[in-house]
Amino acid sequence: MLNQIFNKIDYGQELSKKDLACLLALENQGDLDVLYDKADKVRQKYVGDEVHLRGLIEFSNYCRKNCNYCGIRRGNSKIKRYRMAIEEILDTVSVAEELGYRTVVLQSGEDMSYTVDKLAELIKRIKQQVDVAITLSIGERPREEYERLYEAGADRFLLRFETSSRELYRWLHPDSSYDERMEILTWLKEIGYQVGSGVMIGLPGQTVEGLAQDILKFKELDLDMVGVGPYICHEETPLAGHASGNVEMTFKVIALTRIVIPYAHIPATTALATLRPADGREKALQLGANVVMPNVTPAKYRALYELYPSKVCVQEEAAQCHGCMYGRIYSLGRPISQDYGHSFRRISQ
Ligand code: SAM
Ligand code: SF4
């Protein structure tokens, strides 16, 4: 059975939900090594050896939502909130450019104090002053606002659907709807954004069948980017006491995502590095991932963007993260991309 599935991968045949669930249940290290090796070869064939760097700017930790897993949810009154001023964001984007990053990711809670006018103005000024691609990760907004931000110059949008299980989605998101989330992903694509989505691994109640369905959903949505990271328990949330996600399961989902949608950009996530600081990112890059997102948020804010505890790199300045990341990538013998790192899926079509 396992050999038949491995053969399907070798011949580029579609994997069924059952095949994926079978691979996700693998525990034997020898079998896993075979799977990871296949994923690494697919990565090399379709997206090459280059690693793309995206400078991450966490510009506000205010959020109107109350997602049950997230440390910056509205209901967490124990964290100090911050917002970066527009000029401060612009300065940080310049720092990212000086470090050589050709993409910045502007991420925040759902903070509506950044009106569409303010954000559009910010995007226009970035595009006038700095030579970078812009990815937004700012949550749910009306369709017209996504249109305005795209017209202003935003290139990409990240919006994870977190899980494709409707029941689990409903339980985790007291103030969001699964159907609306999916509808927004469709809008983003229609508008012209390069679209990223993804899931957390190890959410309470998640099953291997559920994860197999998540991977098929990535394909159905025809995503340009897929972010897969472990869920990490935050004690100031309703999920306090639940175990965090499993690193090996995260590796398996990354590897299978690479195999199922070979052209996608797949990051080695910060959450993965948090659970496995020594080599979590490096291993991910060797079994399917091709993107890393060094943090360029000013050091004084980093610890406050606490989605989960013990997040890596909160003490470092942007330049230190940069040096560390370059060292880690070069140690794998992988080159660092010098271009914007736009979607391969579009280039390949
Ligand atoms: N507010 C926007 C949104 O939800 O799309 C963007 C920022 S949100 C903090 C970015 C991602 O952080 C979420 O999509 C979620 O997957 C991840 N995240 C939140 N809490 C987490 C946790 N406890 N462990 C791991 N990842 C988490
Ligand atoms: Fe807000 Fe995003 Fe956290 Fe949900 S995941 S509470 S929308 S920051």
Domains and CATH numbers, the chain: 30-344 (3.20.20.70)
* Cα 47 to middle of ligand 2, angstroms: 31
**Which of 48, 91, 95, 94 is closest to 322 using CA atoms?**
95
Contact 156, 133 (CB under 8 A): yes
The closest-lying atom of ligand 2 relative to the alpha carbon of residue 63 is 1
pLDDT given at position 315: 74
Sign of CA dihedral 159, 164, 170, 173: negative
* Cα 140 to middle of ligand 2, angstroms: 10
Give the number of the ligand closest to the Cα of residue 240.
Answer: 1
- Ligand 1 pocket, 200 CB below 6 A? yes
- Ligand 1 pocket, 110 CB below 6 A? yes
pLDDT class for 8, splitting at 50, 70, 90? very high
CA distance 214 to 195: 16
Please compute the mean of the pLDDT values over residues 253-259 and round it to a whole number: 98
pLDDT given at position 345: 75
Whole-model pTM?
0.97
* Cα 220 to middle of ligand 1, angstroms: 22
* Cα 65 to middle of ligand 2, angstroms: 6
Distances (CA, A) of 82 to 2, 58, 152, 166, 310: 50, 10, 25, 33, 19
What is the share, in percent, of the chain residues with pLDDT greater than 70? 99
pLDDT given at position 216: 98
Give the number of the ligand closest to the Cα of residue 158.
Answer: 1
131-148 tens-digit pLDDT: 999 999 999 999 999 999
pLDDT given at position 313: 81
User: Does 177 have pLDDT greater than 80?
Assistant: yes
**Which of 247, 278, 250 is closest to 266 using CA atoms?**
250
* Cα 165 to middle of ligand 2, angstroms: 18
Q: Could you give phi then psi for residue 93, rounded to 5 degrees? A: -60, -40
User: Does 279 have pLDDT greater than 80?
Assistant: yes
What is the share, in percent, of the chain residues with pLDDT greater than 90? 92
Helix (H, G, I), strand (E, B) or coil at 104: strand
User: Does 272 have pLDDT greater than 90?
Assistant: yes
Give, using CA atoms, the residue closest to atom 3 of ligand 2.
70
More confident residue, 45 or 310: 45
